[in-house]
Structure 1
Amino acid sequence: MKTTAVQPADLARSVLAVPPLARRADLTLDPEANRALIRHLEAGGVTTLLYGGNANLYNLGLAGFAELLDLLAEAAAPDSWAIPSVGPDYGRLMDQLPVLCEHERFPTVMVLPLGFPATPEGVATGLRRFAEAYGRPVILYVKNEAYLTAELVGSLEADGLLCAVKYAVVRDDPGEDRLLAGILERVDPAKVVSGIGERPAIAHLRRFGLAGFTSGSVCLAPRSSTALLHALKKGDFAAAEEIRARFLPLEDLRDAISPLRVLHDAVTLSGVADMGPILPMLSNLSEAERARVAPAARALAALDAGLADAA
């Protein structure tokens, strides 16, 4: 597992996979299933594993956090980068800090965004206190317009508290984004990644020059998602559009039902690995929802397997 300090090149070398987390029927972590998903991603060229919202870490307790860190440190390949997330509330951030410091091999963490109750100034203060106590720059996750202003992001960056920004504010037109443009006036684009999967990735990298993108559907199709990143780096936007189209049927279902829940069960339905139950307070898909998701999940995984066979 990567243990060296985070550099901008680390953000660009791989799609940043944001996987779900596999659990057994009794809700304990399933090491074998999680390893199977990680090996599947790594075999498809993905070497960055960011565990956050799709892993349902919002509902993870302190004991479970320590168990997760142990699993990631053991399961990731020597040249892979495993990134846990912390928070989202201030109390949990500070409670997780001693556990995180005991697992000092991790070069950074991402701070999950808190929606309510929070103010931009309060979020900036909480992030600052956590990062200063941690002693390492962290990954900021900007998920909505009201979370932080560009000026506050810039102040955290200027003080050396950020190693990266995951930008995930949904826009009708991702190529028009005043908040993102404001952040990029204060943070090097080489430290900012598109955080909403394949759908806005082309606009974000082409229009704003972001370093890379995160993806959940990469868990089913790592070769395709990696090919999309490579096409964008080469400036072959026609090829990028063609590759992205493979992901849209599943992404449409994620948007229509639930990005997290659909991804969790899609990995199982695709045959990649059995993710098991989702940790409460969330729930797995209904049978009717699974029937809608299964064809898209299996088609995407089969297409990607075909790429492996052709290689």
Structure 2
Amino acid sequence: MKTDVVEPIDLARSVISVPPLPRGADGTLDREETQKLVDHLAAGGVSTFLFGGNANLYNMSFREFGPFLDLIEDVTPEDGWAIPSVGADFGKATDQIDMLRERGFPTAMLLPASSAATPAGVATGIRRLADRYGRPLIAYVRADGYLAPRDLAALFDDGAVAALKYAIVRSDPAEDPALTAMLDAAGSAERIVSGIGERPVIAHLGGFGLKSFTSGSVCIAPHLSTAILHAMKGGDINAASLLREHFLPLEDLRDAYSPIRVLHEAVRLARIADTGPLSPFLANIEDPGTLDEIERAACRLRDTTFG
């Protein structure tokens, strides 16, 4: 498992998967099913595994964080890269950082706080956490006004941030003044990653010059998502656009019902891994009609071939 310093090449090496976290019927972490999911991703060309929102780490207790770190260290391939997340609140993140200092993870992502946060406060918090960790963090921006571009630039310059996961949803991802401002502040696209899956990937990689993207739906069809990344790297936007179309039915369902909850069920219904129960404050989808929609879309995506 990767333990050395994070470089821009690491961010672009593969699609950055953002998988769910399987649990047994009793709610405990399920190593066997997590291994199935990671193996499925690796077989499709994915080597980076970012455990964050889709893994419902927002609601993970501090007591479970250590066993979780043991788990992802155990299931990650020798040539793979596992990235845990901390937070979202500063106090929880501080305690988790203390635990991470004893491990080999070269970075962790700070989950974005949804309340009780200001841009200057977020920048100060990131800096303090990185200083405490002795390693840079991955910042995660999914709302306007969360982190000021000038603060991001300073965090990059000071080595407090290794990368930015940019995930502000736009009706037209090709028109995004906030992303432009972040890129101008950073001075380069090398450390800014598209963070909203396959839907905006053409605009983000083709138009803004980002080098990679995160994805949850990659868990269903890693071969297709990997092919999108390779096509974009090769400048074949038409091929990437055609491949992306296969993801949109499932992405539409995620947008309609909940990105985290739909992906959790999709991985199970596509028979990739039994993801089990979602831990509170989230709950599994139970409506039979919705589950049928998810199963059809997930299985169709899983079975799509190309070439």
Code of the residue aligned with 2:183 in structure 1: it is L
Partner of 1:75: 75
Q: How many angstroms does 1:254 deviate by? A: 0.3
Q: Could you list the structure 1 runs, at least 4 aligned residues long, displaced by more than 3 angstroms after superposition.
A: none
> For the residues of structure 1 that align with 2:297 and 2:121, how far apart are their CA atoms?
41
Q: Which residue of 1 aligns with 2:205?
A: 205
2:129 corresponds to which residue? 130
CA offset digits 1:199-234 (Å, max 9, x no partner): 001100011111200000000000000000000001
Alignment of 1:146-295 (within 5 A): 146-187=145-186, 188-288=188-288, 289-295=290-296
Distance 2:46 2:22 in 1: 18
Query: So what's the TM-score if we normalise by structure 2?
Result: 0.98
Q: 2:38 matched to which residue of 1? A: 38
C-alpha separation between the residues in 2 aligned to 1:9 and 1:298?
32
Secondary structure at the aligned position of 2:55 is classed as coil
**How far apart are the structure 2 equivalents of 1:22 and 1:299?**
22
Counterpart Cα distance in 2 of 1:143 and 1:65: 24
**Are the aligned partners of 2:22 and 2:276 in contact in 1 as well (CA < 8 Å)?**
yes
Q: In structure 2, how many angstroms separate the alpha carbons of the residues matched to 1:186 and 1:222? A: 32
For the Cα contact (< 8 Å) 1:269–1:294, is it kept in 2?
yes
Give the secondary structure class of the aligned counterpart of 1:186: helix
CA distance in 2, matches of 1:17, 1:127: 23
| Identity fraction in percent | 53
TM (norm. structure 1) is 0.96
How many correspondences in the alignment? 305
Q: CA deviation at 1:146?
A: 2.1
Tell me if structure 2 keeps the 8 A contact 1:149–1:179.
no
Tell me, yes or no, if the aligned pair for 2:107 and 2:135 is still in contact at 8 Å.
yes
The equivalent of 1:297 in structure 2 is 298
Task: Check whether the contact 2:98–2:132 (CA below 8 A) recurs between aligned residues.
Answer: no
Counterpart Cα distance in 2 of 1:97 and 1:139: 13
Aligned residue identity for 1:130: L
Q: Which blocks of at least 5 consecutive residues in structure 2 are unaligned?
A: none
Read off the aligned partner of 1:210 and give its amino acid letter: L
- Secondary structure at the aligned position of 1:185 is classed as helix
- Aligned residue runs from structure 1 range 46-57, under 5 A: 46-57=46-57
Q: Does residue 22 of structure 2 align to residue 17 of structure 1?
A: no
For residues 224-266 of structure 1, what are the alpha-carbon distances to aligned partners after superposition, in whole Å with 9 as ceiling and x for unaligned?
0000000000110100110000000000000000000000000
Q: Distance in 1 between matches of 2:156 and 2:140?
A: 13
After superposition, what is the alpha-carbon deviation per residue over 1:184-204, rounded to whole angstroms, capped at 9, x for unaligned? 112220111100000001100
